[in-house]
Amino acid sequence: MILLTDSDIQAILLTLRLAGVVTLILLIIGTPIAWWLARTKVWWKSPVGAVVALPLVLPPSVLGFYLLLAMGPNGPVGQFTQSLGLGLLPFTFWGLVIASVFYSLPFMVQPLQNAFEAIGDRPLEVAATLRASPLDAFFTVAMPLARPGFITASILTFAHTVGEFGVVLMIGGNIPGITRVASVQIYDHVEALEYMQAHSLSAVMLIFSFTVLLFVYIWQPSAKKWK
């Protein structure tokens, strides 16, 4: 039986909002990065690729620690946001968004990069011979052909942001309604020995994660005909 308290539901809604915003931002930032990585032949492509992939192997607490320093009162980002009159980002929703964008970056960039690489040069050359400028060809040929890649990348980014914990604790702390996401809420329940509550919320997360992955795996085969 699944019983959720109001604060559980608040945590879930906050989690979904965070994941949604991060996915949208990463679609805008990640697409040009993935496109560049897929197309460029410059030697420093590999270092850039490695930096993008860093969050895959780095402990989230390490990433969170550096971001906390950078966004803190003495960090460069913190000084910048203060000079703009925005205050400090740590322990705010938008601080969490920025941290999550870094944390989930590879989950957006890598599937997109693979999709763009699979398209190859030819369709873009064809588009050029049919009078399409490079930007025109990107929107009318590359994006439609990479559609399965966009769907996979968005789902993985969303799901990965939902599952975030270490970075959230570092940057966001545990403020109800602002930074207390579902994973932190479960941690709180366990800390308070509310095992029943932890069970309920964990079950919701488990079902969510499985459904998402199932959808990704079902989608993959049909993706092939587009390539």
Partner 1 sequence: MTGIQARFKIDWAKFKLDVDLHLPNQGITAIFGHSGSGKTTLLRCIAGLERSQTGHLTVSGEIWQSEQHWRPTHKRGLGYVFQEASLFAHLTVMGNLLYGRQRISGHEKISLEQAVELLGIAHLLDRKPEKLSGGERSRVSIARALAANPSILLLDEPLAALDYPRKQEIIPYLERLHGELHIPVLYVSHAADEVARLADHLVVMDNGRALSSGPLTEMLTRPDLPIRLGQDAGAVFEAIVAEIDDTWHMARVEFTGGSLWVGNQRLSIGSKIRVQVLAKDVSLATALPSKTSIQNILQGQVGSIANDEHPSLALVRVQIGNTMLLSRITKKALASLNVTIHQKIWVQIKSVALMEG
**Under the rule (CB under 8 A), what is the footprint of partner 1?**
122-123, 125-134, 136-137, 140-141, 144-145, 147, 225-227
In Å, how far are 34, 36, 43, 48, 108 from 40, measured between CA atoms?
10, 6, 9, 11, 18
Name the residue nearer to partner 1 (CB basis): 43 or 84: 43
Burial call 10-43: b when 16+ CB within 10 Å, e when fewer: bbbebbbebbebbbebbeeebbebbbebbbeeee
For residues 29 and 219, give the distance between their C-alpha atoms in angstroms, rounded to a whole number.
24
Name the residue nearer to partner 1 (CB basis): 195 or 219: 219
Name the residue nearer to partner 1 (CB basis): 143 or 205: 143
Q: Quote the least distance from Cβ 141 to partner 1, whole Å.
A: 6
Q: Quote the least distance from Cβ 39 to partner 1, whole Å.
A: 15
Q: Quote the least distance from Cβ 127 to partner 1, whole Å.
A: 7
Q: Quote the least distance from Cβ 42 to partner 1, whole Å.
A: 17
Sign of the CA dihedral running 163, 98, 107, 150: positive
Name the residue nearer to partner 1 (CB basis): 83 or 122: 122
Q: Which letter does DSSP use for residue 92 in this model?
A: S
Q: Quote the least distance from Cβ 128 to partner 1, whole Å.
A: 4
Name the residue nearer to partner 1 (CB basis): 39 or 199: 39
